[in-house]
Amino acid sequence: MPHNCEERELLGTRVRIFGDVDFEKAFKECKRIEKAFSRFLEGNELWELNQNVGVFFEVSEEMMHLLKLAQQVKENTGGAFNVAVESVLRGLGYDKNYSFVESDSGKIGEIEFDGSRVKITAPVDLGGLGKGYALKKMVECLNGSFCVDAGGDIYAQGSGWKAAFEHPLNEGEVIGGVEVDGFYLASSSASKRKWGKSHHLINTASGECADDMLAVYIQGGDGTLVDAYSTALYVMGFERGVEMISTLPVEAMLISKEGAIFRSKGFKGELFTA
């Protein structure tokens, strides 16, 4: 197996590519997506959309694709996933300066579609699916045997690539693993971006930080959906997640804050602890 590796700081995390591949082509695509869709960069398309709350606004085909995909996940999860949550995150202190100073609570909005235009009732944050989309687009730039790790969102192609299931509370401790070949893997845990009593995973029904789940690990064939359902299943809570997973196009392992573990029938991998 090739062991060449290059990494960049992108998407607010460390993105690494392993393999004998065209690194620069993939990193260039990742930078393009970050530049267009990060809520932390003024002047990009998402920033322009968020300046036009309450009116129909013309968007690109790519932006429309992401917003419609987000709407699909929202509908499939009974509203657990909602990208019109930027003002809530900002109000909790998760702003472009990472101030982590709480202010107003913000509000969760809705998205209305009209041809090539959309109307949002509150600002949008694409972080719930953006990293998975960037990973998917990077993968489309690569051939042969390779592995891409975008801050824990992973895709590998070819034999021998193994990924670890990290302990949701103890960084660096491994609770299991899986050989990844031809599918995406993502996880959600509040411990990754936590400040005070707040974190970045919002229950869109209440507008508050979700607190029922310890961690979620998701596998599937579409990077964008794997990322989105990782967020959605985390915020909807353990019992509801167990009930809903059979209706969704992904496989999952859920760990409740009490330590209960659920694995869907098709979830691949080995747990070292029960």
Within the chain, residue ranges assigned H as helices are 23-37, 45-50, 61-76, 86-91, 127-139, 223-236, 238-244
Mean pLDDT for 200-212 is 58
Answer yes or no: is pLDDT of 97 > 60: no
Answer yes or no: is pLDDT of 188 > 70: yes
Q: Measuring CA to CA, which residue among 4, 13, 19, 39 is closest to residue 180? A: 19
Q: Which of 68-77, 168-177, 213-222 has the lowest mean pLDDT?
A: 168-177
**Architecture label for domain 145-271:** Roll (3.10)
Contact status, residue 164 vs residue 210, Cβ threshold 8 Å = no
Instruction: Write out pLDDT tens, residues 119-174.
Output: 999 999 999 999 999 999 999 999 999 999 999 899 999 999 999 998 888 888 89
Q: Which residues lie closer than 8 Å to 222 by C-beta, 6 or more apart? A: 136, 184, 249
Answer yes or no: is pLDDT of 195 > 50: no
Share of the chain above pLDDT 70, in %: 84
Instruction: Write out pLDDT tens, residues 25-35.
Output: 999 999 999 99
Contact status, residue 64 vs residue 46, Cβ threshold 8 Å = no
- Number of Cβ within 10 Å of residue 60's Cβ equals 11
Answer yes or no: is pLDDT of 50 > 90: yes
Q: Measuring CA to CA, which residue among 109, 102, 82 is closest to residue 204? A: 82
pTM: 0.88
The SS3 assignment for 21 reads coil
Q: How far apart are the first and last CA of the chain?
A: 32
Domain boundaries, the chain: 145-271
Report the alpha-carbon distance of residue 38 to residue 112 in Å, rounded.
21
pLDDT of residue 88: 78
Mean pLDDT for 18-30 is 97
